[in-house]
Every structure is written in structure tokens, then in C-alpha cells.
Structure 1
Amino acid sequence: MTTLACLPRRRALLATLLAAAAPWSAPVAAAWPERPVTIVVPYTPGTSMDTLARTLGPKLSQKLGQPVIVENRPGASGNIGTGFVANAAPDGHTLLMTVSTFVMNPSLFKSVPYDPLKSFAPVGRVAVGTLVFAVNPDFPATTLAQAIQAFRDRPGHYAYASPGNGTPQHLAMELFKLHTGVDLMHVPYSGSAGAVTDLLGGQVQAMILPANTALGHKQAGKLRVLATTQEKRIEVMPDVPTLAEQGVRGAEVDLWFGMLAPKSTPQAVVARLNREVNEILAMPEIRQSLDKQGLIVAPGTPEAFGELVADEYARWAQVIKKARITAD
């Protein structure tokens, strides 16, 4: 993924993040887990993070030989649950299932109860949710280039919806605006349902939203999907070109999900968690289950996930600063 951060800074951030995983001893690794493992989801039940945790939980329980409990601790855009895990004992019994907002919130809020680079040891990326750029079918554009031109012809006239200030969809559209120079009015909603309803009704003209949410409306002719925000075309919409294919480069966005443990969690515990989760993600039934939720499995190493976190933290800090975005 393209980043606005320079390479030396990214490496420094990565080194800081990976240092959160402390050295381990064989006895510690052999004893773990000694009791039930809790996966904290910092959002409400029914969200994609919650679905991921509850899909992985039973399989992980079988592999670890201990119950795996999913605990929802919503509030403050995920900051409450995330802060709870940041301050939990680093023994591998309390984990965090998180999403891209994890690296965005520190730049959106005046203060958050965690540091994305210093408070956690990365376990691994788990999945990716695909996003698309869509417009109401009455909007006078059938291609992304035509939409951009329409926006430029009438700056500030058209509006786009998001599920709320500081959400990944909001920031993805602001990144799009920075790279295209268009002027769109932001209309934040308190969730996706109202935003999508008004997009379908024409009260707002554009939105970046999950592909699985847009797919049915696209097939019914109620939405016109002009681009995907990923680097490659997506399987469920092979006819829709990417932003980069249409000349908008550097605005690619993945809605990624991952697992973290508190800082100083033994490296052997992190390594085993990573191995077990990756094996679960390779199971056909898990892939099929997540696919129905619009999620693509995305296993990897703790190091790769740490690099992603450091990269995204630096990237979104700059986007938020340039676009003067706040969560309030």
C-alpha cells in the first residue's frame, strides 16, 4: 500500500512496535494458556470485528485446549476496549481484535488510552474488507473520470456520506479528495444504515462503502459503483476498475483487521498465536464463512502486521492533519 511516510521513519516506527514483544523463556511458553483466553472486541456485537472474533474463537479454543471468550467493550470509537487490552496483563490471556481505526484514532482524538506503536505486540493481520466508491445512479457520471469532472465543475455542491466522523470510510474519501483536488461536502451519519439509505435516495451523491454492502444495490441498479479502493480488482466485482487504473494513485485503502496482544507478551506466545490463527484462516469453512461477510482472509507474520501498523499510523496521521479532520 502506498504510504506518505518516508522509509526511514517507517523503519523506526516498526522497530518501536516490534520491541513491544518481550523476550520469552521456554517455561512461560510451555505453560500457556493456563486459563480461558479472552478476545476483546472494542465495538458492539454484530460488527465485522465481532464476526471475526466469534468465527475464530471456537477453532482457536480447540487448538489451545482452553475456552476462548469474546468480550465486547464498545465505546469512544473503540478506544475504551483498546485501552483495556493495552493495560491488561501481558500473559497471552487477553487479546485485542481491531480494525484500521486503531491507527487513526490517536490522530483524531485529543488523547487515547494507548499508543499503537508502544502499547501492543502485533500477532498478525487476519482479514481485509474491500471498499468501493459509489454514486447514486441519478448522478451524471458513469465513470470515475466523469464524476471527478462533475465535482470540479461544481465545487462544494455535491455531498458524500459516511458512517461518522473519523470512520475509515470518512478518511478514505478525504484521502480521495486530497489526491483529486475535488471539493465535496461531508455528511456524517451515526452508522452505515442511514448513510446508505440516503445515498440510495439521492440525498447525498457519493460514498465509499464496503463492497458487500454495495453489491446487492449495484446488481439491482440502485447504485453505480465506479471504483474499488484496493490495489487490485475484487472478485465479487471484476468489472469495476481500481482507483489507480483510472489515474487516481496513492489513494488506495484497505479496511484491515488484526489481532494484538499487550506489550511485553512473551514472543513464544505471540508466535504460537500467529501460527494457530493462520492455520485456522487456511480452513475452507473459515474462508467461506468470512467471504459471506464480505471479508477476505489475510494471514501473515507478526513482523508484517507490525510494519503495516507503523506504516498506516504514519500515513493517516498526515492525511488527518492535511484534511484537518477531528472526531468531534
Structure 2
Amino acid sequence: MTFDKLLATLRAIACGAAAALLTTAPAAAASWPTRPITIVVPYTAGTSMDTLARIIGPKLSQKLGQPIIVENRPGASGNIGTGYVAHAKPDGYTLLMTVITFVMNPQLHKSVPYDPLTSFTPIGRVADGALVFAVNPGFPAHTLTEALAAFRAHPGKYAYASPGNGTPQHLAMELFKLHTGVDIMHVPYSGSAGAITDLLGGQVQAMILPANTALPLKQAGKVRVLAAAQQQRIPVMHDVPTLAESGVHGADVSLWFGMMAPARTPTGIVERLNHEINQILAMPEIKASLDKQGLTVAPDTPKEFGALIASDYARWTEVIKKAGIKAN
């Protein structure tokens, strides 16, 4: 099956799931909520997802008139918490704050306790985090074009770091390699700290990393940022061109964050949550708070978020299979 046919099939499944929601009886939604709501974060406290849930939670509590509890259920690359919500009662009282790894994990692990297209009802995207392509200042390249020339002139000589096999940074670089044809060795670390330390020390020459992490390092001259891995330039790094501006097309990565509910959650509840969350994201203080985290507000509809999930699931399935990637 070609990629286009796979994507069309996945979109049809996603649209079918969304259509099924419309047949859900509205009775439960009419009286909802009458008790506290839990937002499950499938990663540890202090991660971007956890920060998003705790920034949005108090505002959502005010709008819905019920307490919002943020519960961290980390483990197995997010699969434990995600599986917990997938099997929760679809009544609007158990929600999931997730990230792009939601669509990556099913292809990286032998089994996961959920299906990204059928186990959940999308509520909406919340924010995007920008990624950048950076190199050690000692690397002989000041532009992405020069970096590609160096990689091609010395295949296998240079190495790039990632926080581990199957992480978004790893997959983003493998996508970059597929679109450029360069041969650069992957060195996985057990977390970002060691990877960044060795990038600064020159033990590895390149890395894709979050923009908010790269910004102070760039300002201090500790890394050279050559490209933004998204469609638009990053406001705080306006001097850095995008991959497309540097001649690399199709390798953009949206590090999105979004809210999900178990499948068959009543459509009235989903629409109410989407409306209230989008109203919260429009607040200037929320935008300012996310800016400090290196995140950009990205409100959309359940249908739009569902289409993004289906598209990215197809895309990363192809990348993972072509690159032969397996999780740690």
C-alpha cells in the first residue's frame, strides 16, 4: 500500500470515529460536569505536558465549575498513562494530555495498550513546540547547506545525539536523513542532559533539540543553530532559516501537544471542552506563560486534531519502518 493510500485509509477511520460520536445520546453531556475532572499526564512532573495541564487546569476549573486534578502516570514511554485513559469510562471525567509520541509509540513498541485512531476522541490541539537543527561551533559549517556538504563529503564520519531511541528528536533526525540522503551516525543517550553535554563538548557534531533549550545555548555561543524544523521561522530566532528555506523539503516536524478523551465520549462534552480550552488559549496571560516554556498556542477543532493525528500516524509509521527504528 502506498503512503497516500495508507493516509487516506487512516483519515477515513478517523472520520468514521468522529461520525460515530454524533450518534451519542446528549443526555450525559447536558448535566456534565457534576464532579472533579482528572487530566492524566503520562509523563513525569515538570515535562512540557505536565506544565501545559497545570497552566490550563485552573482556568478550565473556573469555566466548568469543578476542580481539575492533574495526575501523573508515567512509565513505558507514556504508554502506561495513555492506556489507563484509553480504558477509562467515556464520561468526560478522565482526560489525557498527550504529545506527538502518542502516534509514534505504536510502531516503536511490540504492543501498546491503545490504538491512536480508535481508542480516543480528539478534543483539540493545545500547543506546538519548535525544534531546531544545531551543531557544535567547531563543526565546519555556518549554514545547513554547508553542513549537508560536509556530511556528504565524509559519510559516516560525523555523529548526532538524541535523548534516546524512538524519541521525537531521534525520529526528526531520521526523517531529515531520509529527505537529504546523508549518512550521519546516531548516538542515543538516556535523556537530554548527556546528549546536550556531548554536543557542547564536540563528542557529537549535531542534534535536533527544542528551541527553548537551544536559545540560551545559541545566545552564549555554545551551539550554532542552522535551521528551524518547522514551516515558519521562530520569532525568538528570526535570524534562523527554516529547513525549506535551506532547500530541505518534507522534513518539518510539528512537536504538538493536545487533549484527548476516551472513545465514545459524548460529542456535547467534547465540544464544550474544545470551546472552553480554546477560550483559555486565547487569554494573553496564557500565551505569555506558554511563551516562557518555548511553546506556541495552537487551538483547533476536534476534527482538525483528528486529521493531524491520522496524518502524523501514517507519516511516522513510514519513517520508523524505512529507518528500522526500535525503542530502547
Q: TM-score by structure 2 length?
A: 0.97
Indicate whether 1:143 and 2:143 are aligned.
yes
**Contact 1:90 1:263 (C-alpha < 8 Å) held by counterparts:** yes
- Aligned-residue offset at 1:27: 2.6
- Aligned-residue offset at 1:184: 1.1
Counterpart code for 1:28? A
- Aligned-residue offset at 1:26: 3.6
Q: Trace 1:157-236 onto structure 2 (pairs within 5 A).
A: 157-236=157-236
- Aligned-residue offset at 1:5: 3.7
- Aligned-residue offset at 1:20: 5.9
Deviates more, 1:4-13 or 1:231-240: 4-13
Residue in structure 1 matched with residue 307 of structure 2 by the alignment? 307
| Number of residues of Structure 1 aligned to a counterpart in Structure 2 | 326
> Per-residue displacement from partner, 1:264-285 (whole Å, max 9, x unpaired)?
0000000000000000000000
Residue in structure 2 matched with residue 9 of structure 1 by the alignment? 9
Residue in structure 2 matched with residue 249 of structure 1 by the alignment? 249
**Contact 2:26 2:267 (C-alpha < 8 Å) held by counterparts:** no
Q: 2-side partners of 1:88 and 1:134: how far apart? A: 41
- Aligned-residue offset at 1:21: 3.2
Counterpart code for 1:263? A
Counterpart code for 1:310? A
Judged with a 3 Å threshold, the aligned counterparts in structure 2 of structure 1 residues 26 and 16 are, in CA distance, closer, same or farther, namely: closer
- Which aligned segments of 4 or more residues in structure 1 are displaced greater than 4 angstroms? none
- Aligned-residue offset at 1:4: 5.1
Q: 1-side partners of 2:97 and 2:193: how far apart? A: 23
Residue in structure 2 matched with residue 58 of structure 1 by the alignment? 58
- Aligned-residue offset at 1:193: 1.3
Residue in structure 2 matched with residue 76 of structure 1 by the alignment? 76
Counterpart code for 1:72? N
- Aligned-residue offset at 1:9: 2.8
Q: 2-side partners of 1:215 and 1:5: how far apart? A: 36
The answer for unaligned runs of 5 or more in structure 1 is: none
Counterpart code for 1:115? D
Q: Is the partner of 1:248 in helix, strand or coil? A: coil
- Aligned-residue offset at 1:16: 3.9
The share of aligned pairs that are identical, in percent, is 73
> Per-residue displacement from partner, 1:95-115 (whole Å, max 9, x unpaired)?
000000000000111110000
The answer for unaligned runs of 5 or more in structure 2 is: none
Q: 2-side partners of 1:240 and 1:285: how far apart? A: 27
**Contact 2:21 2:266 (C-alpha < 8 Å) held by counterparts:** yes
Q: 2-side partners of 1:139 and 1:271: how far apart? A: 50
Measured on the aligned residues, the alpha-carbon RMSD in Å equals: 1.3
Judged with a 3 Å threshold, the aligned counterparts in structure 2 of structure 1 residues 254 and 25 are, in CA distance, closer, same or farther, namely: same
Q: 2-side partners of 1:20 and 1:295: how far apart? A: 33
Indicate whether 1:104 and 2:124 are aligned.
no
> Per-residue displacement from partner, 1:300-327 (whole Å, max 9, x unpaired)?
1000000000000000000000000010
Q: 2-side partners of 1:73 and 1:8: how far apart? A: 33
